[in-house]
Each structure stands twice: as C-alpha cells, then as structure tokens.
Amino acid sequence: MKLLTTYYLWLNAIVLLLSSCAKAEDLSEKGELLGGKKVLIVYLSRTQNTKAVAEIIHKNVGGTLVALELKTPYPEHYQTTVNQVAEENRTGFLPPLKTKIDNIEQYDVVFIGFPTWGMQLPPPMKSFLNEYNLSGKTIVPFNTNGGYGIGSSFETVKQLCPNSTVLDIFSTRGGSERDGILYVMEGDKEVQVQSEVKKRLQKIGLVK
C-alpha cells in the first residue's frame, strides 16, 4: 500500500511538472515577454500603416494596444492637415488627447509608433510624451514614413524621455498620402515587415 501511495505521489508530481512546462511553452509561443515584463503599445496612425506595424508587434509580444486619438481630429484633407501640423510645430501647440491610459506606471516597456510628419515627430505623439511620465521605462520607437525617413522624430523622442531607456527606432516605408498612395502594408510588403519586426524584437530580446 505504501508503495502504491508513493507511486501515485510521484505520478502526480510528474504530471504537475509536465503541465507547467506546457504552460511555459504556450506562453513563449504566444510571444509573451521574456522575464514577464508588462507591455504597452501606443501608436498614432492616419492611413493605417503605422497601425499595421503596431498590430504585428502586438501579435508577437502581446500587451495593451492603444491608438492615440485627438479631442479634435485632424481634417480629412491632406494638405490642410499638412498646413495645420506645420503651424502646430511652429508654435509648439500640443493637441489635447481624447485617449486616456489608466495606470501607465504598471508598464515596463512602452512601444511608441508614429508616422513622420513634416520631417518631425507628429504633434499628438509630442502630446502623449508630454502628458505621461515614462521615467524608468524602456521605450521602443517605431515609425512609418513616405520615403523621406524619420527626420528629427527619434531625437525628439529622446529629448522628451530623458529618464527612459530609449532603444533604436525601427522604421519602414509606408504610404504617401500626398501622392494618393495610402495603405501599403499588404502582400509582399506585409510579409517583409512581419519578418523585419520579428528580427528586431528578437535582437532586443523581447521575443524568443
């Protein structure tokens, strides 16, 4: 009888061990962060290119995905928006955000995604970085642009987050609304961006 009890105890222990291994495997397959860090992914996107990159990141690392929205949205008309953004950049106006993020202190890693606007960080992302204290957190910036690059956006992120660890920016070409080319993150481009994002996440140790 004693032998039988010992046998069952061992069997239980082995089953428990195996099920906890399976759990760990499931988590890494789902892309849970190494070290159990909490992730926030905040992005600004007008024509959905940056949103597509944000969603690829979210699929890989999980966490909370948040789109930045303004109390007063930008006009639909492209050139009117370009002019308004230029004026906001000139005066330093920070457009008020409709989006509210609860308990931002709980996050360890904050991905921030934005398009290049007027070769700068878009004013709504400046509003976000101005409104929320990201001190002590790791910031991972990502960007899409119409082919002219990131401009001063990355430098501005670093300036606005002096007490955060800001990792290198990931940037890819998106659409060009000026030329009537809007959403481009499909087909071959989507496959390419998925692979680039995954490599980058592996490099910075955020997914296996």
Ligand X SMILES: Cc1cc2nc3c(=O)[nH]c(=O)nc-3n(C[C@H](O)[C@H](O)[C@H](O)COP(=O)(O)O)c2cc1C
Footprint of ligand X (CB under 6 A): 45-51, 78, 81-82, 85, 115-119, 144-148, 151, 174-177
Q: How far is the CB of 80 from ligand X (least distance, A)?
A: 9
Of 82 and 104, nearer to ligand X (C-beta) is 82
Q: Whole-angstrom Cα distance, residue 32 to residue 207? A: 7
The tokens describing 58, both together, are: 């979210």
Min. distance of Cβ 116 from ligand X in angstroms?
4
Q: How far is the CB of 46 from ligand X (least distance, A)?
A: 4
Which DSSP symbol is given to 172?
E
- Taking the least distance from each CB to ligand X, the nearer of 63 and 115 is 115
Helix axes 49-61, 187-203, angle to 10 degrees: 50
Of the candidates 164, 158, 89, 97, the one whose C-alpha atom is nearest the C-alpha of residue 127 is 97
Q: Which is nearer to ligand X, 70 or 82 (CB)?
A: 82
3-state SS assignment for residue 48? coil
| Token duo for residue 11 | 């069997």
Nearest to 125 by CA among 111, 106, 135: 111
Which of residues 80 and 165 has its CB atom nearest to ligand X in the complex?
A: 80
- The residue (of 32 and 114) whose beta carbon lies closer to ligand X is 114
The CB-of-114 to ligand X minimum distance in angstroms stands at 8
Distance in Å, CB of 181 to ligand X, minimum = 8
- Minimum CB separation of residue 120 from ligand X in Å reads 7
Q: Cβ(156)–Cβ(124) under 8 Å?
A: no
Closest residue (Cβ) to ligand X?
A: 174
H helical segments located in the chain: 2-29, 49-61, 78-91, 123-131, 153-160, 187-203
The smaller minimum CB distance to ligand X, of residues 54 and 134, is found at 54
Alpha carbon separation from 126 to 14, 62, 162 (Å, rounded): 53, 25, 14
